[in-house]
Amino acid sequence: MQPSDEELYRLMRKGNQDAFAQLYERREPALYRFALHMSGSQAVAEEVSHEVFVQLMGPATRFDETRGSLESFLYGIARNLIRVVRRLGPVLEPVDRPIYHDILGELIGNETTAALHRTLREMPERYRDVIVLCDLEERSYEDVARLIGRPVGTVRSRLHRARALLSAKLKRLNAPSEVVTR
């Protein structure tokens, strides 16, 4: 049976490097993707996902198991770091940079996808959070509720509101091509 995040954390605090490595391998990829979608920058995502673990092993970290899971604690650190980065100014290296050298690249390089990604980045954080976690990370409502510390109903209503905003954006993006085809 796999040890829980919290068990690994306790071992890690005692200096067990294997526990730290296991925790890193288990949680870092999703944290990286979360930071990537939230910030739109690969450089920021790398920095944030690294810094989360630097903070976790630092002496100042006071994770309290009674107040929530380690995973939501890690997402909390990541969210704060992204807020700081966004406050500093526009992020470079947009994630929606087109890649044209293969079929998949053409799909990904789709201008509509890029425009939606830009819209997503400009959304209020409460909507961006749920879109990234529910739709891009494909987490359940219950998981997301636990990660962001909100009731399931709130997560669901925020997601629907966020999708409505993106749907409206999509409608505007689709409109010119519809005019041309008529």
165 close to 123: Cβ distance less than 8 angstroms: yes
Our CB check for other proteins shows the closer of 84 and 168 to be: 168
Our CB check for other proteins shows the closer of 131 and 148 to be: 131
Our CB check for other proteins shows the closer of 120 and 148 to be: 120
C-alpha dihedral sign at 129, 105, 48, 86:
negative
CB of 90 vs other proteins, minimal distance in Å: 19
Our CB check for other proteins shows the closer of 74 and 159 to be: 159
159 close to 131: Cβ distance less than 8 angstroms: yes
CB of 71 vs other proteins, minimal distance in Å: 18
Give CA separation, 158 vs 92, 127, 130, 155, in Å: 28, 6, 7, 5
Neighbours of 103 (CB within 10 A): 7
CB of 19 vs other proteins, minimal distance in Å: 10
Dist CA 130 CA 120 (whole Å): 11
CB of 180 vs other proteins, minimal distance in Å: 18
Closest CA to 73 of 81, 65, 85, 84: 65
List of residues contacting other proteins (CB under 8 A): 15, 17, 20-21, 24-25, 28, 32-33, 36-37, 42, 45-46, 49-50, 53-54, 57, 95-96, 99, 104, 107-108, 110, 112-113, 116-117, 134-136, 138, 159-160, 163, 166-167, 170-171, 174
CB of 20 vs other proteins, minimal distance in Å: 5
Our CB check for other proteins shows the closer of 54 and 84 to be: 54
